[in-house]
Amino acid sequence: MEQAVDHQQQISRLDERFMADPYLAENVGQAHANWALDAGRVVEGSGRLGRAFTLGQRAVRKLTWWYNLPQFQQVQEFHGAAVRSIDAMITHLYHLTNRVQALESMHSEQRMRSVESQLKAMRDEQLALRQRIAELEAQLKHEA
């Protein structure tokens, strides 16, 4: 029960990261749903021949489970590790993307502040030059 709750919490945390990429969300969802192998799974048939085939599959599975079990366990462990690794990589990618966006916005704000301070300095210089021009014009009028 606890594992199911943890699994649902992981999926809900993953969902928020997939808002921009539904293809990735769909494939990770499939990986989560289908990573475990069912050694007893058989293809159900219809009709008499299909039912006979289904019974034959079940008989073969039951007779060979001891032989195939180690391979199934190994494959299942690998699939579980692959799904957990994908989740970890997606989590890291999500955090890195957020960090890059934060750094980009911070850099943009700093650049904006820098440009604004340069514009203010130019405005102040322009006002000082206009005042100096006005003073020089007034001086010329007095001399003439």
**pLDDT by residue (tens digit) across 97-141?**
888 888 877 777 778 888 899 999 999 999 999 999 999 999 988
Q: What is the DSSP string of 45-92?
A: --HHHHHHHHHHHHHHHHHHHHHHHHHHHHHHHHHHHHHHHHHHHHHH
**pLDDT tens-digit map of 64-84:** 878 888 888 898 899 889 988
